[in-house]
Structures are given as structure tokens and as C-alpha cells.
């Protein structure tokens, strides 16, 4: 760990916290973040040369595994033609066509550079389209760091939102209503009070930022109904779930059609890409066809489009999902069996290639409240034990895990051997 330690010490002198995105700093688990030098298939290597089986996958994008040859070659070929033109390219047309074919509710698509940009723009579009101010989000869901999304619930069920970060004006936060995931009654209450002024509901259809919590039966359908009744826009934030919980995302898996969809992560194959899109009638309100402003110097960047297209093409051509899903379930089932063997209270959730495990006595975790009341100390001990064994998990208990095509049965078995050893020490 010497090299990671030295780099971390040095990094903290010129980068706040030594990192460019906070969860990387290992604050939730303590210890030194591993500085990574390379990645291939299911593996990453740190600066000290230690190899890990990686279940973070750059926080989701690498569904094909790291350093996929076709993606790498497409990026190199695109880079040889120039890095950015600030003018339209054929690759952007191909990308919009491909996204629209794979996620049919996205009749039109606008490319951006991150998930944050996608959700921020989808919200502005919903407000511009409906002429309303308020938005509804769910406690424990994360949609990037735009002001109106960094908001937590007020003290009572129906109070207006309060900023969850300094720097977000209370005047902005008051327009965000935060309700409970998997609880339609809380959504109905918000609509009963403010329905006339609610522009949209934004939801992670499978919550992946409070560990992994799939929707309970009827939850997404209920959101669809509520939006239809109130004339509000339903936004699925599929930045994590897109091309991951099924080829067509959560909307395909659960058969509920949103008005707008936000994408990120997988769509860029590891390059900085996001997208939003949906019903033609709504998205044509965006500039230049409509009055709602949105733009980007590097949006639709040719190198990023090449990575995204090479990724999506493989996902389209090869039916890899059943085996990825099977391996994800096998890992979760294996962990539960080992927990039983060692007398450890643990439950897991799986949605396609996303998984979560919770150190709790609860039989099933379906709510934010349950997710945050899991045993943190046990998670930390488990986390560092696994790291020691060469398995890299998300360094916080409120983050889910990701499986890739490159994680085969042998990798799952190796991971479960490590789990067995670490559970024995807990």
C-alpha cells in the first residue's frame, strides 16, 4: 500500500480530500484509497501492483468488463480523426438512433457529458414544458449534484425541502418535495397538497444510491398513474439502470414507460457521457426547436460517441444479459448461504446486474430507513477484509455493486471463497 499512501498524501495537498469525487476518499470505511493504474476484464490493479476483482466497475459503466478490445479500438480510431469539432457528426446520429431503438420511449435524444447534466436538463425541460415549479424526488435516491436535487425532506411529511448542502439556496430547495421510495402514499400526499404545481417526479427505478433497492410491486406503475392524473412528467433516472438491469433498462424490465429518461455511465462505455430524451412532444421544447435552453461545448464528443457506440453495439448484438444476471444472483445467493454458515445476519437484493448486501436482521430491505440502519461497523470490517483478499467493493455501505460480462463463474467462486474467509473473521 506504500505507493497508494504516498500518492494520497501528495494528492491531498493540491486536490480537496485528495480526490475528484468524494466517495473515492474512503471516508465511509476509513483507510487509504487505492490509486489505480490499470484495469482489464473483471480486474483492477493498484499502484502497488495488487490485483483486485472489481465490483465497482467505475461506478457502473463497464458492463462489458474493463478495457474491452472493441471499445478501446473504436476510441483510438476516433481519436486519430480529431478530438472535438464543435459541429455535428454522423456518430451522434448513429448514437441517437441506437439509443432510441434500444430504449423505445426515448423518441428523441440529446447527448450531454454526465449524469448530472442529464437529470438537471430533464428537470428544466419538465418545468419549461409544464410551466410548473415543484419537483418530487425520493429520499435516498441520488441524481447528481445540481442544486434542486441536493435537497432533503423537511421535518414533517409535507414540509417543503431543505438544502442538503451549503451553497444550495433555501429558495431553490423549497421547490423540491422529498418523499419515501417504495411508498406511494407519501407520493399521493405530496400531490394532494401541491399537485397543481408539480412539474415532474424523478426516480431511480431501481434505487442504486442507497445500496440496491428494487421497486416493490406496483410502485413504478403507481408513479405513472399519479403523473398521468396530475399532468406531471415522469422521469426515470436510468443513469445506473440503463443497459444494466435489462438491455432496455428498468422501463423494459418492469414494463413502465416514463415520459423522459436520463442515461449515463454505460452509454459512454467509460467516457464522460450522459443523455436525456423521451417523448417527442416534450423534448422538442428544448433549444433550438423550443425555448428551454440547454447546450454543451463537448456534448456528443466524437471520441465519447465512439466508446458509447462500440459498447451499445455489443450489448445489442450479443445476448449476454441472462448469464450476467445468473452470475449476479449466484453471488448474492452464495453470500447469503455463507452468512448463514457463519451465523451472520445478512440479506441481499438483486436487480439484473446490480446487487446489494445488507448486514441486518431484516428479512428484506425495501426502504431507505432500513438501508441506513444496517450495521456499519460490520460493513467496514467486511470491506477491509475483502480488500485484503483482493476483492474491490464500493467503499460505502450505501452503494450497490455491479457485475460485468467479464465476471465468469470462476470469478464468482473466487469471490465467494474470499467472503467465506472474511466472514470467518467477523
| Catalytic residue set | 142, 237, 265
Cis omega (within 30 of 0) for bond into 323: no
261 binds ligand PMP (CB under 6 A): no
264 binds ligand PMP (CB under 6 A): yes
Q: Which stretch binds ligand PMP (CB under 6 A): 62-70, 112-120, 130-138, 337-345?
A: 112-120
Q: Which CB sits closer to ligand PMP, 382 or 402?
A: 402
- Per CB under 6 A, the list member of 115, 270, 356, 395 interacting with ligand PMP is 115
Q: Which CB sits closer to ligand PMP, 27 or 50?
A: 27
Q: Which CB sits closer to ligand PMP, 123 or 339?
A: 123
CA distance 290 to 279: 14
Q: Which CB sits closer to ligand PMP, 264 or 278?
A: 264
- C-beta neighbour count of 426 within 10 angstroms: 15
Query: Considering the complex, what minimum distance in angstroms separates the CB of residue 73 from ligand PMP?
Result: 24
Query: Considering the complex, what minimum distance in angstroms separates the CB of residue 29 from ligand PMP?
Result: 18
CA distance 189 to 371: 23
Q: Which CB sits closer to ligand PMP, 42 or 115?
A: 115
Query: Considering the complex, what minimum distance in angstroms separates the CB of residue 145 from ligand PMP?
Result: 7
Q: Which stretch binds ligand PMP (CB under 6 A): 74-82, 138-146, 279-287, 380-388?
A: 138-146
The CA angle 272-97-404, to the nearest 5 degrees, is 50
335 close to 356: Cβ distance less than 8 angstroms: no
The torsion angles phi and psi of 215, rounded to 5 degrees, stand at -70, 140
Query: Considering the complex, what minimum distance in angstroms separates the CB of residue 116 from ligand PMP?
Result: 3
CA distance 70 to 213: 33
Q: Which CB sits closer to ligand PMP, 105 or 119?
A: 119
CA distance 407 to 327: 8
Q: What is residue 60's three-state secondary structure?
A: coil
46 close to 52: Cβ distance less than 8 angstroms: yes
Query: Considering the complex, what minimum distance in angstroms separates the CB of residue 155 from ligand PMP?
Result: 26
| Residue 186 C-alpha from the chain's centroid | 24
Q: Which stretch binds ligand PMP (CB under 6 A): 81-89, 110-118, 212-220, 278-286?
A: 110-118
CA distance 355 to 353: 7
What distances in angstroms separate CA 270 from CA 191, 289, 420, one per listed residue? 38, 30, 32
Query: Considering the complex, what minimum distance in angstroms separates the CB of residue 131 from ligand PMP?
Result: 25
And the C-alpha cell for 167?
Answer: 451553497
Site string for ligand PMP, 265-284 (x = CB under 6 A): ---------x----------
400 binds ligand PMP (CB under 6 A): no
The CA angle 251-71-59, to the nearest 5 degrees, is 50
Residue spans of beta strands (DSSP E) within 34-117: 36-40, 43-46, 51-54, 108-112
Query: Considering the complex, what minimum distance in angstroms separates the CB of residue 30 from ligand PMP?
Result: 22
299 binds ligand PMP (CB under 6 A): no
59 binds ligand PMP (CB under 6 A): yes
3-state helix, strand, coil in the chain (%, to 5): 40, 20, 40
239 binds ligand PMP (CB under 6 A): yes
**Residues near 142 by beta carbon (within 8 Å), at least 6 away in sequence:** 149, 204, 209
And the C-alpha cell for 311?
Answer: 459498447
- Per CB under 6 A, the list member of 61, 128, 140, 144 interacting with ligand PMP is 144
Q: Which stretch binds ligand PMP (CB under 6 A): 210-218, 235-243, 247-255, 302-310?
A: 235-243
Residues 201-220 that bind ligand PMP (CB under 6 A): 204, 208-209
User: Which residues of the shown chain bind ligand PMP in the complex (CB under 6 A)?
Assistant: 59, 114-116, 119, 142-144, 204, 208-209, 237, 239-240, 264, 274
Amino acid at each position: 500500500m506504500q505507493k497508494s499512501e504516498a500518492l494520497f498524501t501528495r494528492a491531498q495537498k493540491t486536490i480537496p480530500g485528495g480526490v475528484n469525487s468524494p466517495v473515492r476518499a474512503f471516508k465511509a470505511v476509513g483507510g487509504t484509497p487505492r490509486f489505480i493504474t490499470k484495469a482489464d476484464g473483471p480486474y483492477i490493479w493498484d499502484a502497488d501492483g495488487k490485483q483486485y476483482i472489481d465490483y465497482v466497475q467505475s461506478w457502473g459503466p463497464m458492463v462489458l468488463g474493463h478495457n474491452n478490445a472493441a471499445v478501446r479500438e473504436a476510441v483510438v480510431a476516433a481519436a486519430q480523426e480529431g478530438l472535438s469539432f464543435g459541429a455535428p457528426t454522423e456518430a451522434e446520429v448513429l448514437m441517437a438512433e441506437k439509443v432510441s431503438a434500444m430504449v423505445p420511449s426515448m423518441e428523441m435524444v440529446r447527448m450531454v457529458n454526465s449524469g448530472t447534466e442529464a437529470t438537471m436538463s430533464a428537470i428544466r425541460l419538465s418545468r419549461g414544458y409544464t410551466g410548473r415549479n415543484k419537483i418530487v424526488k425520493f429520499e435516498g435516491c441520488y441524481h447528481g449534484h445540481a442544486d434542486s436535487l441536493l435537497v432533503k425532506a423537511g421535518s414533517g411529511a409535507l414540509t417543503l425541502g431543505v438544502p442538503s448542502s451549503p451553497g444550495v439556496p433555501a429558495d431553490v430547495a423549497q421547490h423540491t418535495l422529498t418523499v419515501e421510495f417504495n411508498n406511494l402514499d407519501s407520493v399521493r400526499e405530496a400531490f394532494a397538497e401541491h399537485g397543481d404545481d408539480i412539474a415532474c417526479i424523478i426516480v431511480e427505478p431501481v434505487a442504486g444510491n442507497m445500496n440496491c433497492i428494487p421497486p416493490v410491486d406496483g410502485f413504478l406503475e403507481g408513479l405513472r398513474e399519479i403523473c398521468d392524473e396530475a399532468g406531471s412528467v415522469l422521469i426515470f433516472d436510468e443513469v445506473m439502470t440503463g443497459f444494466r438491469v435489462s438491455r432496455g433498462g428498468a422501463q423494459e424490465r418492469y414494463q413502465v414507460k416514463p415520459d423522459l429518461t436520463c442515461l449515463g455511465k454505460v452509454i459512454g462505455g467509460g467516457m464522460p457521457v450522459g443523455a436525456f430524451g423521451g417523448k417527442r412532444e416534450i423534448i422538442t421544447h428544448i433549444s433550438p426547436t423550443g425555448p428551454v435552453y440547454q447546450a454543451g461545448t463537448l456534448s456528443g464528443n466524437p471520441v465519447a460517441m465512439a466508446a458509447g457506440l462500440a459498447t451499445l453495439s455489443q450489448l445489442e448484438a450479443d445476448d449476454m444479459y441472462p448469464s450476467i444476471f445468473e452470475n449476479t444472483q449466484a453471488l448474492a445467493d452464495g453470500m447469503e448461504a455463507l452468512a448463514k454458515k457463519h451465523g451472520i445476519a445478512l440479506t441481499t437484493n438483486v436487480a439484473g446486474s446490480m446487487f446489494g448486501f445488507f448486514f441486518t436482521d431484516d428479512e428484506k430491505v425495501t426502504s431507505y430507513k432500513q438501508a441506513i440502519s444496517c450495521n456499519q461497523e460490520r460493513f467496514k470490517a467486511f470491506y477491509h477484509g475483502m480488500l485484503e483478499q483482493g476483492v474491490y467493493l464500493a467503499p460505502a455501505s450505501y452503494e450497490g455493486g455491479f457485475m460485468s460480462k467479464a465476471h465468469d463463474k470462476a470469478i464468482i467462486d473466487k469471490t465467494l471463497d474470499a467472503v467465506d474467509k472474511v466472514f470467518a473473521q467477523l
